[in-house]
Amino acid sequence: MSNQRAFEGKVALVIGGSRGIGAAIAKRFATAGASVALTYARSPERAAETARAAQAQGVPAISIRADSTDARDLQEAVASTMARFGRLDILVVNAGILMRGTVDSFPLEDFDRMFATNVRGVFVAIQACVPHLADGGRIITIGSNTAVRTAFAGASVYSMTKGAVAALIRGVAIDLAPRGITANNVQPGPTATDMTAGYVELITALVPLGRIGKPEEIAGLVAYLASAEAGYITGASLTIDGGYVA
């Protein structure tokens, strides 16, 4: 993107923006001139730190507590964003959890929690934003390359949730196309976040580029999809994983 302030005057809401990929996305939008709202579930200090980093770019930024398993929390987060900024141009749904377990022993309560966060929460966030999202706006979900290749035992439920997000975004893209709103899904592979902290050596060996990704690299793709240059991309799932699924 050649225009370093490409999002001047825009407002971005990042669901799950306190740390890792979400924080990198929030900072990237702020650097490009967007006002930023970000949600967190259990990391108020890190959310505040990310908001301060965004503000350091000369834009307003707020953090909002919202549990993605709670529809009312998500709806109130959208309402708080509108109350503070008066508009919404970009929604990024990044919040997600990973619980491992093979299909023969996976607890139903863990299944329900992961589905509630990774699938239902994504739907609720999108639904809550749609009435407020500006025509020509952008919706971007953060899925996973496990929707394409599971690779490890114990990841069946997680992979299922990310496959559901990829399917959801195709329908959302069609539903909102008359308003010029694009909807796309970014599918990161192994990335340096809290989620992968215990598996770095194992997964690095599976990446043809020989390293795991940086959150800033995921944020770069998200920023492109939110830009005017990407206005003809919608309903797509774009994998960014160093060749992991190649």
- The residues, ordered by sequence, that sit 6+ positions from 53 with a Cβ below 8 Å of its Cβ are 23, 27, 30
Residue with tokens 């809401």: 13
Query: Which residues are designated catalytic?
Result: 158
Per the CB < 8 A criterion, the answer to whether 43 and 54 are in contact is no
Q: How far is residue 235's CA from residue 244's CA, in Å, rounded to a whole number? A: 22
Neighbours of 42 (CB within 10 A): 9
Positive or negative torsion for Cα 225, 240, 78, 174: positive
State the DSSP code for 138.
E
